[in-house]
Amino acid sequence: MKFNFLFFRFVIILFDISFLSFALTQNCIDIPNPLNKTNRIIRPCHIGKPSNLKSKSKRDENDMCKVDFTCNISDGNLCEKAQKSLYDACQNISSILILKKQITISATFLADSSNYLGATTPSRFYLLRSKDGIVRAYPQALAKQFQLELNDTLSYDIEMIFNPSYEFWFNGDEPISALQYNFFTISLHEIFHGLGFMSFFDNSFAVNYGLSSESISPLPELTSVSGGELFEGFIETIFDRFVYILADSSEPENTKINSFTNITAEFNKFGPPPKNYSNEIEFLKNLSDSPQWKNLTPYLYKKATLQDSIIFVPFNEDVSNGTFLETGIAYNPGSTISHVSSNKYEDTSDFLMVYQTNPGISTESLINEFGDLISPRLKTIMHSIGFLTKDNPIMNEPEPENPESSPSPSPSPSPSSSSTTTNSVTYKNSSTKIYLDTWKLWKFALMILIVYLQTDYFGNFKLIICNE
């Protein structure tokens, strides 16, 4: 028996050594601060070869969420309610998803006079190769559900900040007042961002590097190496894989639907990657002078500010089953594209992922009106990006892989039909900024609100849910 035991240990050690030798280094993209999502740090990560080992520990469906709440305010009761509400929201989401690994959330109360209620980012994106051969960014919460060995995951999948400058209402509180914002629905909204409801198509790179703010692009993977900067291509998120651009009335009638993935491929004709540059200045000069940057970034900006021009089409679905993304507002990187269209869905059962919210709406009233806070449309989006759901427990296609573990087939990204949708431009004012620093001012605002409760002024208290 002793010999057998030693032999068994020897086999285990050999296995460990052979496994480690398969660990491959890829870049990860870390976003440490949800209030500064443009700060994207590219660093090496180690991904082991796909593992067929089944987890020995049985999954506890009641323990699929971990929430650590850092409360920077003196009201302990409020802190407890916020943590519980966030946990309940996470449990609510985990009850519709089939999760293999626990979702971990770090949340913080941080008072801010700006007009947003929260801010969220996946803490880390792993670069994995989707089945169509394209390397994309997968948020850690999603990547760790796959049969990959992610050797250095961060402690938290999702980083969140909530703004207690505004009055939150929690499930179980007294009836909601006209000035209170529903913390539970805001929590659901933010968690979905953290799970991957997020595009890399924005102007953050352009703004960070002093280029025109009306330049939208996917994220360039640029890392410092000895002797300069290595450009390894533009990266999109797995969410972006299903995003398409519709033709508008200014374009010829036969203009076809275009995908973000095709646009990313067009961007990647610049360089082409991998390409070394002596420094960032040289890279920027070459990039900003390139036809790709000059043609594509203003085209994307135009589409991002044109109502009903960008749509999420679920895996293998017709564009008619797509969900319009937010493009009908003055461009705001925190609101545009990474939300559903408020024009289309604000007053529907798909309200949850619109970019702004009214106060005074209780969870019960929403359930009475819509039945479920997490709509079938939202479930389909999460299923498309790679989550199994209770409604659809079958994976669309094989799981993504470490990019270094397989060759790249040709991409074939296109939905099952084209569109001839035309659009008109409609700009809506973003929410009126409210700078109320003290509770007395809140009371004053409440009085004004009561006076105008039956008027259109009520709409001005709508707040942006997510910070830029």
Instruction: Give the residues lining the site for Zn ion (CB under 5 A).
Output: 465-466
Nearer to Zn ion, 119 or 284 (CB): 119
CA gap 139, 157 in Å, rounded: 8
Q: Which of 194, 213, 193, 192 is nearest to 202 (CA)?
A: 213
CB of 355 to Zn ion, least distance (A): 6
CB of 334 to Zn ion, least distance (A): 7
Nearer to Zn ion, 135 or 158 (CB): 158
Residue pair 90/3 in contact (Cβ under 8 Å)? The answer is: no
DSSP symbol at 53: P
Residue pair 127/136 in contact (Cβ under 8 Å)? The answer is: yes
Q: How many CB atoms within 10 Å of residue 71?
A: 18
Q: Which residues are CB-contacts of 174 (< 8 A; sequence separation ≥ 6)?
A: none
CB of 166 to Zn ion, least distance (A): 15
Nearer to Zn ion, 42 or 110 (CB): 110
User: Letter for the amino acid at 19?
Assistant: F
Nearer to Zn ion, 284 or 466 (CB): 466
Q: Which of 305, 428, 345, 405 is nearest to 46 (CA)?
A: 405
Strand-pairing partners, residue 357, are 463
Helix, coil or strand: residue 206: helix
CB of 345 to Zn ion, least distance (A): 13
Residue nearest Zn ion (C-beta atom): 466
CB of 118 to Zn ion, least distance (A): 8
Residue recorded with tokens 């390397």: 135
User: Letter for the amino acid at 444?
Assistant: F
CB of 359 to Zn ion, least distance (A): 16
Residue pair 436/442 in contact (Cβ under 8 Å)? The answer is: yes
Nearer to Zn ion, 449 or 466 (CB): 466
CB of 465 to Zn ion, least distance (A): 5
Nearer to Zn ion, 118 or 220 (CB): 118
Nearer to Zn ion, 198 or 306 (CB): 198
CB of 335 to Zn ion, least distance (A): 7
CB of 425 to Zn ion, least distance (A): 23
Nearer to Zn ion, 258 or 335 (CB): 335
CA gap 137, 387 in Å, rounded: 15
User: Letter for the amino acid at 396?
Assistant: N
Q: How many CB atoms within 10 Å of residue 24?
A: 15
Q: Return contacts of 272-278, CB within 8 angstroms, 24+ apart.
A: 272/233, 273/221, 273/231, 273/232, 273/233, 274/230, 274/231, 274/232, 274/233, 275/230, 275/231, 276/225, 276/227, 276/228, 276/229, 276/230, 276/231, 277/228, 277/229, 277/230, 277/231, 278/227, 278/228, 278/229
CB of 356 to Zn ion, least distance (A): 9
Nearer to Zn ion, 47 or 464 (CB): 464
For the record, the structure tokens of 267 come out as 């961007």
Nearer to Zn ion, 255 or 358 (CB): 358
Residue pair 112/165 in contact (Cβ under 8 Å)? The answer is: yes
